Amino acid sequence: MNDDVAALLREIRDQQREQMALQREALALQREQFALARSQLERAERINARAEALQDRAGRSLRVIALIALPLVLLVLLFMLWPYLRHLLV
């Protein structure tokens, strides 16, 4: 009977060791996944920062274009309409 109890206790001990080894593996996998997720988040933040910088540059460029292009378009329209307006005024 003592031999049966000893064998049973050894089996329990061996299974606990196996369980602990599996838990260590699972924890290592979770750490790897966390590190991967962290690196992906950092990459996404860098991409987002670059996109925001590009949008700011594009916005500034559009303002400059609007300040230059709109008066030029109005001037071209005025030159195109000038003969018609001059004919109406005379």
pLDDT digits (tens, 9 = 90+) for 29-67: 999 999 999 999 999 999 999 999 999 999 999 998 889
Q: The whole model's pTM is what?
A: 0.57
pLDDT tens digits, 65-88: 889 998 999 999 999 999 888 888
What secondary structure letter does DSSP report for 72? H
Q: For 8-65, give the DSSP string.
A: HHHHHHHHHHHHHHHHHHHHHHHHHHHHHHHHHHHHHHHHHHHHHHHHHHHHHHHHHH
pLDDT band at 1 (very low <50, low <70, confident <90, very high): confident
Sign of CA dihedral 43, 44, 45, 47: positive
Write out the two tokens for 34. 């966390």
Q: Where are the domains of the chain?
A: 1-63
Q: How far is CA 66 from the centre of its chain?
A: 31
